[in-house]
Structure 1
Amino acid sequence: MSNDAALEAFRLADSFLPVGTNSLSYGLEQFVQDDRVEDIEDLQALLETYLRNQTGTADLVALRAAHAAARKGNVEGVCEADRRLEAVTLAAEFRDSAEQSGARLLSLQRDLWSDSLLDSYAERVDDGAAAGNYAVVLGAVAGIAGIDSREACLVCCHGFVTGLLGAAQRLLSVGHTDTQRSLTVLQPVIQEVIDDSDTYTLDDMTSFAPLVDVLSAEHERADRRLFLS
């Protein structure tokens, strides 16, 4: 991977990237409100569940497919990955959050670059032919930028985990050292789910975390909340 591609990967992984992930907790808020996540150990266990049962088996599979399609200039392949990911994401809040973040990333990249595939993809999102999920947009952007698919998966997982750890700092009495330690503890899990995702096709894509889906539905109807999801 070139230096330019590596620097682009760093930019995409930075919390400074204005895609709105700081407003998302992906159900963590409801877990805390229901006293199901009370400390750093509970948090790490929940994050591992997300990585193994949703991110690795769905988001990363779609990301890899979008990445491969974008490298070939195949916008229909990107859209197919998008539709499949939309179909297996059960929680309405998660779909909405992924689409909002994806729309912001797609808009940002089109402002920064001139690329016909991104333009064609954006047209299909606007027409409703594709959802514009964040993982799919990230995969397409990474493919165009020359970022390797594995590095793109690392960017996705790193952003997801650091985003939830940031949410935990606002929801729990979790300090900076504990969040950094959790990130270190989860690194082997991240690498494992990335390796496993390379063995899946779009037909194999799945997402199975029933309690996460149930609590997300509860969070959607909550009277007071800090996060959009």
Structure 2
Amino acid sequence: MTGDDGGLLSALRLADSFLPVGSYTISYGLETFVAEDRVEDGDDLRELLADYLRGQVGPCDMVALSVAHRAAREDDMERLGRVDDHLHATLLLSESRESSLTSGRRLLDVVEGEHAFVDRYAGTVGDSARGHHPTAMGVVTAANGISEREARLVFGYAFVTGLLGAAQRLLRLGHTEIQVILHDLFPVIEEVEREYGKNGLAELRSTVPLIDVEGMRHERAERRLFVS
């Protein structure tokens, strides 16, 4: 990518649901929340997504992405492996781990051949690295000249729009209401980006017990529309 607007265009590409990393197959337990009538309308959905952002995306995914971004800028392949290992140990649900690995590896496949360092990291996946999605996103955004802050915002935006897309299939919500919820969550995305953006790997954590419980129930559900 060349030109002053290359970073912006890359950020838009990575935030777009059109990017084929499998986000349309993931609900992160939202399917169970809806099935159990815990989420019935837009207000319930808005509150749940804010909990996701504050308990999982900010303190876990954004931290991993940030550390990976720094490691990529410093050509530190060993630290990228440690980021993947911390994420793998922190994600309690097998569905969450598998979804993260699948999305990360698909992202690396999509951008194959575009940046030498990204290809080097992709070449370690399955050996010294695992290829989790936040790690891969940190590597790809760094390679594209997207700042850490912008990368965290891109990740938060993509996470929310992915779940809003899932919600449209699970609930009777119109496009306008979905856009209102998305706009209402912008301050929460910015809040968690500011709060967790400078954290190190030792501070990576996830605190979403109810979401984890619903995810466990989803793993055992007989009928499922989403893989998580």
Q: TM-score range by the shorter chain?
A: over 0.9
Residue equivalent to 2:55: 53
Q: Name the residue aligned to 2:217.
A: 218
- Determine the structure 2 residue equivalent to 1:21: 23
- Deviation string 1:94-129 (CA, Å, 9 cap, x unpaired) is 111010000100111114x141x32332232122x3
Q: Could you tell me which residue of structure 2 aligns to residue 142 of structure 1?
A: 141
SS at 2:206 equivalent: coil
The aligned residue for residue 93 of structure 1 is 95
Work out the CA distance in 1 between the residues paired with 2:66 and 2:163: 22
Paired amino acid for 1:197: Y
Q: How does 1:99-118 map to 2 (within 5 A)?
A: 99-111=101-113, 113-115=114-116, 117-118=117-118
Name the SS of the counterpart of 2:126 in structure 1.
Answer: helix
Query: Closer, same or farther in 2 for the Cα pair 1:2/1:197, shift >3 Å?
Result: farther
Task: Choose the corresponding residue for 2:14, options 12, 32, 36.
Answer: 12
- Please show how residues 128-139 of structure 1 align to structure 2 within 5 Å: 129-139=128-138
CA distance in structure 1 between the aligned counterparts of 2:35 and 2:4, rounded to whole angstroms:
45
Residue 214 of structure 1 aligns with an amino acid whose one-letter code is V
- Alpha-carbon contact 1:23-1:228 (below 8 Å) kept: yes
Kept in 2: contact 1:79–1:121 (CA 8 A) = no
For residue 79 of structure 1, report the CA deviation from its aligned partner.
1.6
Segments ≥4 residues shifted beyond 6 Å:
none
Percent identity over the alignment? 49
The Cα shift of 1:34 comes to 0.7
Secondary structure of 2:104's aligned partner: helix
Q: Give the equivalent residue in structure 2 for 1:77.
A: 79
> Is the partner of 2:153 in helix, strand or coil?
helix
User: Mind listing any 5+ residue stretches in structure 2 that lack a counterpart?
Assistant: none
Aligned residues, how many? 226
Could you tell me which residue of structure 1 aligns to residue 156 of structure 2?
A: 157
CA distance in 2, matches of 1:34, 1:97: 22
How far 1:144 moved relative to its partner?
1.0
CA distance in 2, matches of 1:22, 1:198: 26
What residue is the counterpart of 2:121 in the other structure? Answer: 121
SS of residue matched to 2:205:
coil
CA–CA distance in 1 between the matches of 2:198 and 2:67? Answer: 12
Do structure 1's residue 171 and structure 2's residue 173 form an aligned pair?
no
Deviations 1:173-197 (A, max 9, x none): 1110111000111000000000011
Q: Say if 2:112 and 2:118, in contact at 8 Å, map to a contact too.
A: yes
Deviations 1:28-49 (A, max 9, x none): 0000001110111110111001
CA distances 1:45-88 after superposition (whole Å, capped 9, x unpaired): 11001000000000000000000111111111222111111111
Report the equivalent of 1:43: 45
Q: TM-score, normalised by structure 1?
A: 0.95
TM-score when normalising by structure 2: 0.96
Q: SS state of the match for residue 160, structure 2?
A: helix
Q: What is the RMSD computed on CA atoms of the aligned residues?
A: 1.3
Contact 2:21 2:107 in 1 (8 A): yes
Equivalent residue number for residue 204 of structure 1: 203
